[in-house]
A and B are shown apart, each in its own frame.
Chain A
Amino acid sequence: MTTLALAIALFLLANLVVALVAAARGPTSADRMLMALLFGTTGTGILALLAAAGAGAAAVDVALVLALLAAIGGIAFAKRAWRARHHVSD
C-alpha cells in the first residue's frame, strides 16, 4: 500500500511538471496564476500522499499549512497585481 501511495505521488508530481512547463509559456498572466493555484492543490495532495508513504504524520501538518497559504497568492494576484488586460503578445 505504501508503494501505491508513492506511485500516485509520483504521478501527481509528473502532472505538476507538465503544468509547470505550460505555465512557463502560457498565453496570459491570469492563466499562469491559475497554474500556480493548481500547484498549491497538487502540492497538498502530494504531501498527504508522502505522509502515508513513510514521511510521518508531520507531513500532514505541512499539507494543512500549504492548503491555507496557497490561496493567499491567488488573492494577492487578483487584488494587487492584475492591473490591466494582458493580451497574448503582452
Chain B
Amino acid sequence: MSAIDWLSALLLVVGAAFFFAGTLGLLRFPDVYSRLHALAKADNLGLGCVLLGLALRADSLAVAMKLLLIWPLVLTASAGVGFAIARRAQTLGIRPWRQGDAP
C-alpha cells in the first residue's frame, strides 16, 4: 500500500468518526439550536473527509471531481436548511437552552 492509500483510509475513518459524533450529538444535545450545530459537524466535516478520502483513490479524474463537487453542494444546502430551521424556531418562540435549565 502506498502513502496515498494510507491517507485515504485515514480520511475515511476520520469521516466515519465525525458522523458518529454528529449522531451522538443529535441524540444527546438539549435544544434545537445545539442539535443543528451537531448536525452541521456530520454534514460538513464527516461527509467532507469521506468524499476526500474516496476522491484520492478514484479511478479517473472525472469521478474524483464529481465526488469533490458533492461537498460544496452539501455545504450550501445544509447552510440554507440550518438557517431556515433556526429562524423558524426563533419565530415560533423557542428559547435557547441555558446552563441550569432542565435538559
Task: Say whether A associates with B.
Answer: yes
Q: Which A residues lie at the B interface, using CB under 8 A?
A: 1, 4-5, 8, 11-12, 15, 18-19, 22, 28, 30-31, 33-35, 37-38, 41-42, 44-45, 48-49, 51-52, 57, 60-61, 63-64, 67-68, 70-71, 74-75, 77-79, 82, 84-85
CB contacts (< 8 Å) of B73 on chain A: these are 64, 67-68
Q: Which B residues lie at the A interface, using CB under 8 A?
A: 5, 8-9, 12-13, 15-16, 19-20, 22-23, 26-27, 32, 35-36, 39, 42-43, 46-47, 50-51, 54, 57-59, 63, 66-67, 69-70, 73-74, 77-78, 80-81, 84-85, 87-89, 92-94
Selected from B22, B42, B70, B94, the residue in CB contact (under 8 A) with A63 is B70
Residue with the highest number of chain A CB atoms closer than 10 Å, among B9, B12, B63: B12
* Contact of A85 with B16 in the complex, beta carbons under 8 Å: no
How far does the Cβ of B75 sit from chain A's closest Cβ, in whole Å?
Answer: 10
* Contact of A45 with B88 in the complex, beta carbons under 8 Å: no
Q: Is the interface of B mostly helix, strand, loop or mixed?
A: helix
Residue with the highest number of chain A CB atoms closer than 10 Å, among B19, B22, B89, B94: B19
Query: In chain B, what residue has the closest Cβ to A83?
Result: B92
Assembled-state Cα–Cα distance A50/B66 (Å) = 15
Selected from B74, B87, B92, the residue in CB contact (under 8 A) with A41 is B74
